[in-house]
Amino acid sequence: MVRIKMCGLRRAEDIIAVNELRPEYIGFVFFPGSKRHVSPEAAKTLREKLASGIRSVGVFVDEKPETVAKLFSEGIIDMAQLHGHEDEAYIRCLRSLTDRPLIQAFRIGCTEDIQRAQASTAEMILLDAGAGDGKTFDWRLLHSVSRPYFLAGGLNPENVSRAVEQLKPYAVDVSSGIETDGFKDILKMRAFIKAVRREDLRHE
């Protein structure tokens, strides 16, 4: 079964929606430069309302390892997604502070990017088109990927079935594709879930 991650949650109604729809993962963006940014205090309040069984992922861009570890220790996040210039030295440093799972994100534009992603020591990798701009990339590059990955970048209810059918990723990650006017839209969220689950059922 392909897992689903709905990223960029920042309102109480977003949590109500995911508690109904039950994706496997949700994401809180802690990067101040993002329009979906939430403070640790706001994320804590939202996390307390999150249904059990849904894992919360903190999204970071070149954040201090100590800050990431603190959010783990406070129970606000279950996993950390590294979206900046974090290298293996950064991962080692973070691992000295916590043993919680890490997802390292890679912007994919050529086969060399795939090779870098394959070599990551993070527990999981995320393959993306860019920085949340809602655009896809050339999925043909992914056929050589030999480890499980989160697929991100331009996914929406209209194209996610095709992505699941063609690529069979470990998980699909969506943010702008389930928004209207910059905010999560439960109708689009529901349609996205149905599109992924429908594709799963076809292959059981």
Which residues are known to be catalytic? 7, 128
Amino acid at position 125, single letter: I
d(CA 111, CA 114): 5
Amino acid at position 61, single letter: V
| Angle CA 23–53–97, to nearest 5 | 105
Tokens of 182: 């910059």
CB atoms within 10 A of CB 92: 11
Q: Mention every residue, 6+ apart, whose C-beta is less than 8 A from residue 101.
A: 78, 79, 80, 123, 124
List C-alpha distances in Å: 70 to 43, 45, 74, 101, 194.
13, 16, 6, 14, 35
Q: Mention every residue, 6+ apart, whose C-beta is less than 8 A from residue 199.
A: 2, 160, 161, 164, 165
